Amino acid sequence: MFNPISVSEVRERYSQGESCYDVISEFLEKIKDSRLNTFISISENEALAMAEKIDKGKLSGRLKGIPVSIKDAISTRGIRTTCGSKILENYVPPFDAHVIERIKAEGGIIIGKTNMDEFCMGTTTETSYFGPSKNPWDESRVPGGSSGGSAASIAEGSSVLSLGSDTGGSVRCPAAFCGVVGIKPTYGLVSRYGLIPYANSLEQIGPIASNVKDAALLLEIIAGKDYRDSTSVEKTFEFKLMDVSKVRIGIIREMIEKVDEKVQKETWRAINKLEELGMNYEEVSLPMMDYTLAAYYILAMSEASSNLSRYDGVRYGYHIEKEMNWNTYFSKVRAEGFGDEVKRRILLGTYALSAGYYGKYYLKALRVRNLIIQAFNKLFERYDVLLAPTMPTLPFRIGEIQDPLSMYLMDINTVPVNLAGLPAVSVPAGLNNGLPVGLQIIGKPFDENMILNVALKVEEEVWKR
């Protein structure tokens, strides 16, 4: 089922005279025929209408006629946006997210909304109200999460480009598990306007593609200042090829020592190949690693508790056609509308923010976050990029991990990047037992060009598929 398609391949079809309508129709059929449950909604009418405009010469741009799938946490005007939850099952936004506006302006065609963990809370897509997605390499295994449907859509070839969101690894994890490229941009580079919030201070929208250059192209298009998002910065992004033969690499010891030996093997194979190409590496320590998961989950769940308080069954979303007092109605709507994992995180976040515990947990987590930022800054005084496995294991079987704490541990190598607001990319680095292993490349703030050039070298010299 692994059959990714690049932007250049689609452009070649257009150059040979194929109509955009026919090409997009073919992708829509792939979605309908898929066994992987990658999509929640298919925007067939909208996609074909845009294809017709392109065929008539009414639209152009750098993504002209390229099918793009969108994580169902990103608002699309007139297209159902559920966030993988029953509570938003029939919600249709009246506006486009900033990133959607950018894609449409460049002629990209939104073909559908991809499956995801409910409200981005998960590592596998198993918490989705619409059922789990499956991994294109092995349908019995998870594709990662929370942007699992987006990564799987790229890997199976039902889309060419995709957008996910990354709060603690939700772009990089599925990219690693599905053998594709996923970018978590520097916090502030891409507007979050129109992204249904989980944890505002941590999350970023990021591209997923079959190769580094396609992912970089999509990042070029969605990056930039947006006045509707006060956290977005006055910066753009342009991918430029550069010589990385003398790049100084730090291998984060704590991120590689305790991972599965199969993942270790492929990671060191990739690192040794980079060394053969002239890059120098040293093992380095990130002593704050012991505290990153605790700090992350306190902060993320606290922000989730606040953000998800808006779902009350009154203004929009799931509601109950019965008269009852407000407290009973509010509780019943949320009990029926939210899944178990979302409820768990709301409860834990509310507890951390409650009187008597705010200072003990939330404020302490903020202090730890500052120490993590300082630790990364110190490492980047000596190294250009930091490398580590993206995920600690190979893709595991659907239903294999039932304990929430064991599932949270899957995020150990990805959450430090979000706490520090840094850019990172997951690029395929090898196969073990027929399953992909992702290499995570972490960079300095707004140094996406550096990490993508290193990723390109991994793609060309190590992955070579």
pLDDT per residue as tens digits for the range 250-262 = 999 999 998 999 9
Residue 197 lies in a domain: yes
pLDDT above 60: residue 128: yes
Percent of the chain at pLDDT > 70 equals: 100
Give the per-residue pLDDT at 316: 86
**Which pLDDT band holds residue 323 (cuts at 50, 70, 90)?**
confident
Domain count, the chain: 1
Highest mean pLDDT among 230-244, 316-330, 345-359: 230-244
Give the per-residue pLDDT at 139: 98
Tell me whether residue 170 is one of the annotated catalytic residues. Answer: yes
Residue 50 lies in a domain: yes
Give the per-residue pLDDT at 145: 97
Give the per-residue pLDDT at 418: 98
Do 395 and 141 meet the contact criterion of CB atoms below 8 Å apart? Answer: yes
Residue 176 lies in a domain: yes
Q: What is the CATH number of the domain that holds 62?
A: 3.90.1300.10
Residue 243 lies in a domain: no
Edge-to-edge strand list for the sheet holding 435-443: 39-42, 109-114, 67-71, 161-166, 204-209, 181-184, 424-432, 435-443, 385-389, 248-252, 280-284
Please count the other Cβ atoms lying within 10 Å of the Cβ belonging to residue 201: 16
Closest CA to 272 of 165, 442, 429: 429
Give the per-residue pLDDT at 315: 84
pLDDT above 60: residue 28: yes
Catalytic choice (43, 146, 147, 426)? 146
Catalytic choice (34, 41, 69, 71)? 71
Give the per-residue pLDDT at 331: 92
Alpha helices in 79-233 (DSSP H): 98-105, 148-156, 172-178, 212-222
DSSP designation for 264:
H
Taking residues 107-124, what's their average pLDDT?
Answer: 98
Taking residues 192-207, what's their average pLDDT?
Answer: 98
Closest CA to 172 of 373, 437, 434, 420: 437
d(CA 34, CA 347): 36
Taking residues 61-81, what's their average pLDDT?
Answer: 98
Do 107 and 64 meet the contact criterion of CB atoms below 8 Å apart? Answer: yes
Domain span holding position 34: 7-222
Residue that wins the pLDDT comparison between 214 and 1: 214
d(CA 292, CA 338): 27
Catalytic choice (34, 153, 170, 305)? 170
Give the per-residue pLDDT at 201: 97
d(CA 120, CA 288): 25
Tell me whether residue 262 is one of the annotated catalytic residues. Answer: no
Give the per-residue pLDDT at 465: 57
pLDDT above 60: residue 160: yes
Please count the other Cβ atoms lying within 10 Å of the Cβ belonging to residue 231: 14
d(CA 225, CA 232): 5
Residue 100 lies in a domain: yes
Mean of the per-residue pLDDT values of the chain = 96
Residue 16 lies in a domain: yes
Residue 119 lies in a domain: yes
Taking residues 407-423, what's their average pLDDT?
Answer: 98
Residue 294 lies in a domain: no
